[in-house]
Structure 1
Amino acid sequence: MCLYGLAHFGERASAAGVQLWIDGPGPRRQNWPGYRLVTGPDGVRRAVAAVETCGEEQQELPESPALVTAGQLVLFPAPPRRWEVLHQRELPVLCYQAEALRREFAQHAARHGWKQKAFHQHQRTLTMVTAWLGLDAPVEEADLWAISRLDTGYSALRLVPFLDERGLLVPDHIRHADPHRAGVARLRQRVPANLLSEVDVWIAVLRGEGRRESRTVPWKTVSGYLGYVVPVLEAWGPSIASLREITADQVQEAVDGIDGASALYALRSLFKALKRERVIFHDPARAIRASRRIVVPRPVPSDRLAGLIDRIPTPVGKVAVALAAIHALGAHAIREALLTDLNRSKGTLGLRDASGKLVRLVYLDEFTLSLIASMLKKRATRWPYSTNPHVLITRVAAHDPADPPMSPYAFQRIFRQLGFSDRQLRIDRILDQARETADPVHLMKVFGISDQTAMYYIAAAHPEKFTAEPIIP
């Protein structure tokens, strides 16, 4: 029951028949143990936790009437707090526990080598949330992010893992939800109402929830499929009542009007799933063909490659560019590379697949090894307490207890300084090697690519070796 009522009724609260009441008319007393009356901004006097709950033998301090009470059950979800109302107001004095946490946070920042600006931004956020809410109950992560949006002088990025490690954080499940799953939910809202039930059947089949057991497709793939299918369904929706009415001509017309190959894959998946679930009787996309553009890889001009490494200011950026431009590694492989798979004495870097299995060894040249050595020396100086196992990390990933790899945004920002992407550098490197040799097996061994990809680059580098096939009568 309400803790205020519990303080009043005492042991009688456990008896049957006690009326539930919410800070309204009812029995009140001025001297409940552990509580005191405080006049709020609206002029109403409310009972809040006394100062003694924060520390022993302290004098009474002006604390906020919004102080959170530990152990109080939630009757219904509370609306988000409006921290902008308190932005310019004078803060209540911190209790003993909050002051101790503030000192611990300062030691944590100094131990990890934070810059003064970043430390002050996070300390302001910590001070504001503990001054108004206290530490009797864990802090809501949503409140930290709401405070960080008030001004550039606040930040919550490194404060979230700090509080989480100490059991003082209530995670924001909405913020940590799968973004691709949320994207599927948004796209689903655009599907015409008369076709929604059939699309839900398709999504269930993709997620392995159909009548027969099947492979579970990731939410990222489901979101990609819906991105191509939803515009087509929006065009079909007003003129049909069900996807059973769709003909092969309508599918061909839809494929010809947009990115043919990708849209056709998605539509084939849709109608194949519906037929398997016996929602439709005929698959109109089965015999459809789509034209596909073949893009010939082009090299990067040599004048733009001159001084490539020197134009990157950070050691992490230099290593990322070297791995892409010299060893033709993809963005995902570079970001996911682990320190335990780096053997500097042998000059190798191991690459793992999604399951964590070691699938390839990359033999590094001396120049790349020297860049990695400089980067690791800088890393040990700047983040000596970081436990992140990845080769490339940023200041955010270095202090995250989840040990994530470098974010895709931070990785791409390195190459935006050069004026082209990591994919262009990778293509240029493989194409340059293909000019030196017309052996696809050599490209497969050096760069870890498939036979079809190797032949694709050989054909681009030596077009004279690939003549058009004669037309068979």
Structure 2
Amino acid sequence: MLAETEIDVDGAAMAGGDQLWFGREIGPRLRTLDARYPGARRKGRYASKRRLAQEAEQAARSVSAHLTDPGQLELFDTPARDWTGLDEAELPALTEQAAAVLDDFTAYIRRRGWKIGQLGASIRTLRILAAYLGIAAPIRETDIRAVAGLSHNHQGARVINYLRRRGLLISDEPVDTYVAKARSIADRLPATFSEPVHVWIDVLVGQGSKPSQPLGAETIQRYTRYVAPVLLDWANDGLGGPREVTREHIEAAIEPLRGSTARGVHVGLRSMFRALRRERLIFRDPARTVELAIARRLPRPLPSDRLTGLLNPITDARGRLIVSLVAVHALFPRAITQLLLEDLDRARGQQRVRRVGRPDHVIYLDDLTMELATAWIAERYRRWPDCANPYLIVSRETAIDDLHRPASSDVIGQPFRTVGLRASELRQDRIFDEARHTADPVHLMRVFGLSDVTAMKYVAAAHPDKRADPIQA
């Protein structure tokens, strides 16, 4: 029987050939290798031959024909590159400069305390970019994100941060995702309403013909989401644009709606027509005199059984601290994302809350919250010892992001989804509980940083028997 084996028993290691054995498959096992060939390698030569062939092939590769030239002037905007047809088995050879940058990136990963084995996707992404484009000129962030989006085996966040530190990154223009969604909603409307909605968005972001204070991006997206179905219905009914809309059209659109939807459509339409009249796209504001009767809900406490063992389901220190800041100190989730690490005074047990356009608010931390804050800071330092993000709450992404962004709303909302309660319910319950123990609105304003109107609302809900002085009301 003629058989082929992967074990080079005789140490032949024939170049370009294979070793043949005459006999049955157990023939090679009849010999004792250590006795006949002391020190002979038992490893299959096929793996060695394969590795040597790959090394020879890589050494024979040439550098990419698409290396960017830092001295080449750009005559027009370069279209986005298509990386979907990439064959990683045929990567060009790295230049000496690119290889040095790739080695430095590996050293950068080690200096940050990360494990090389867990960041192979980032190294792979940089190797692809360095092989095809080189490192002589900065790399566009668009290309990094395109390569990182090829599969889960490619990552780009750490590559972007590293190249930015090295001055080798052409950053994309920042795009607010909420405003982008609002623009996308406007694009899907008929042309007679699409352009006016874009003008309205320009006014809301402070880019109208007259200077104005920009509105929050989430509010802009929410307004357009509420208004878009109404505008689409008007277009289907034959209206040729905002100029043909009357008060009756607006009232008919709001009449079948209830609750927050009716309120959102009403506020959105008033904002849109006010902006269009300001930009002189319409001559009159049909929504100016439209009123909406709504029943304002008074704050209500949560049942005590829903608050029992509130922190038990949460296992991480960050989540427990977030829930404590809302349930004990009644902070808004957005305010938590803006808390700065330097504003936490653990010696005095205080946390300063910075507020735009209003005086700062100082909260006095209780023992539980102070203990949770200390535990979170210790965990933060253990996980990211080189983290320079100034915010108190960081995530896995923002801790390594050199742009030092605050944590996202999804990170803040995760522990509340774990306990099955909304942050607004916990905050409302805390303020209501404090209002039941005191009828002094000034006390609520000092403890929670409330406005006078909000403080009076909670006092009225907690003490319905008390009425405001009609002379001072």
The DSSP-based 3-state class of the residue aligned with 1:349 is: strand
1:188 and 2:186 equivalent? yes
Corresponding position of 1:424:
425
Corresponding position of 1:134:
134
Shift of 1:232: 2.0
Distance 1:311 1:219 in 2: 33
Count of aligned pairs: 407
The DSSP-based 3-state class of the residue aligned with 2:85 is: helix
**Which stretch shifts more, 218-227 or 145-154?**
218-227
Shift of 1:268: 2.1
Aligned pairs for 1:77-116 (under 5 A) are 77-116=77-116
1:256 and 2:263 equivalent? no
- The code of the aligned residue for 1:423 comes to S
Q: Is the 8 A contact 1:300 1:428 kept in 2?
A: yes
Corresponding position of 1:328:
330
The DSSP-based 3-state class of the residue aligned with 2:351 is: strand
Aligned pairs for 1:278-317 (under 5 A) are 279-317=281-319
Aligned pairs for 1:40-439 (under 5 A) are 61-173=61-173, 176-196=174-194, 198-199=196-197, 202-203=200-201, 205-206=203-204, 214-217=212-215, 220-237=218-235, 238-258=237-257, 259-277=261-279, 279-354=281-356, 359-439=360-440
Q: Deviations over 1:116-171 (max 9, x none)?
A: 45422211211222123222222222222222222222211121111111111122
Distance 2:208 2:74 in 1: 38
Gaps of 5+ in 1: 1-58
Distance 2:62 2:142 in 1: 25
Distance 1:158 1:460 in 2: 51
Q: Deviations over 1:422-459 (max 9, x none)?
A: 22221221122223233322222211112332233334
Distance 2:122 2:447 in 1: 46
- The code of the aligned residue for 2:256 comes to G
Q: Is the 8 A contact 2:460 2:467 kept in 1?
A: yes
Q: Is the 8 A contact 2:355 2:361 kept in 1?
A: no
Distance 1:94 1:323 in 2: 51
Corresponding position of 2:38:
none
**Which stretch shifts more, 337-346 or 215-224?**
215-224
Q: Deviations over 1:41-81 (max 9, x none)?
A: xxxxxxxxxxxxxxxxxx87533333333323345545443
Shift of 1:336: 0.6
Q: Deviations over 1:75-126 (max 9, x none)?
A: 5545443434334424334332222222222222222222445422211211
Distance 2:433 2:293 in 1: 29
- The code of the aligned residue for 1:432 comes to D
Shift of 1:202: 4.2
Corresponding position of 1:32:
none
Distance 2:212 2:128 in 1: 51
**Which stretch shifts more, 147-156 or 453-462?**
453-462
Q: Deviations over 1:369-400 (max 9, x none)?
A: 12212222222233222211111112221221
Q: Is the 8 A contact 1:347 1:369 kept in 2?
A: yes
Q: Deviations over 1:12-51 (max 9, x none)?
A: xxxxxxxxxxxxxxxxxxxxxxxxxxxxxxxxxxxxxxxx
Distance 1:212 1:372 in 2: 45
Shift of 1:329: 0.8
Distance 2:392 2:221 in 1: 31
Shift of 1:210: 5.8
C-alpha spacing 1:218/1:409, structure 2 compared with 1 (3 Å): closer
- The code of the aligned residue for 1:385 comes to D
C-alpha spacing 1:193/1:377, structure 2 compared with 1 (3 Å): closer
- The code of the aligned residue for 1:190 comes to R
Distance 2:189 2:61 in 1: 57
Corresponding position of 1:453:
454
Q: Is the 8 A contact 1:260 1:292 kept in 2?
A: no
**Which stretch shifts more, 158-167 or 90-99?**
90-99
Aligned pairs for 1:4-15 (under 5 A) are none
C-alpha spacing 1:66/1:373, structure 2 compared with 1 (3 Å): same
Distance 1:424 1:135 in 2: 52
The DSSP-based 3-state class of the residue aligned with 2:353 is: strand
- The code of the aligned residue for 1:151 comes to S
C-alpha spacing 1:218/1:425, structure 2 compared with 1 (3 Å): closer
Distance 1:457 1:117 in 2: 55
Q: Deviations over 1:198-251 (max 9, x none)?
A: 545545554556666554445554443333333222222243334343332222
C-alpha spacing 1:209/1:96, structure 2 compared with 1 (3 Å): closer
Distance 2:308 2:75 in 1: 65
C-alpha spacing 1:358/1:62, structure 2 compared with 1 (3 Å): farther
Shift of 1:346: 1.4
Q: Is the 8 A contact 1:158 1:396 kept in 2?
A: no
- The code of the aligned residue for 2:180 comes to A
Gaps of 5+ in 2: 1-58
Corresponding position of 2:9:
none
C-alpha spacing 1:316/1:98, structure 2 compared with 1 (3 Å): same
Sequence identity (%): 39
Distance 1:208 1:215 in 2: 6
TM-score by length of 1: 0.77
Distance 1:98 1:200 in 2: 44
Distance 1:197 1:88 in 2: 44
Q: Is the 8 A contact 2:88 2:128 kept in 1?
A: no
Q: Deviations over 1:168-189 (max 9, x none)?
A: 112233xx32223323322322
**Which stretch shifts more, 59-68 or 176-185?**
59-68
| Structure possessing the higher radius of gyration over alpha carbons | 2
TM-score by length of 2: 0.77
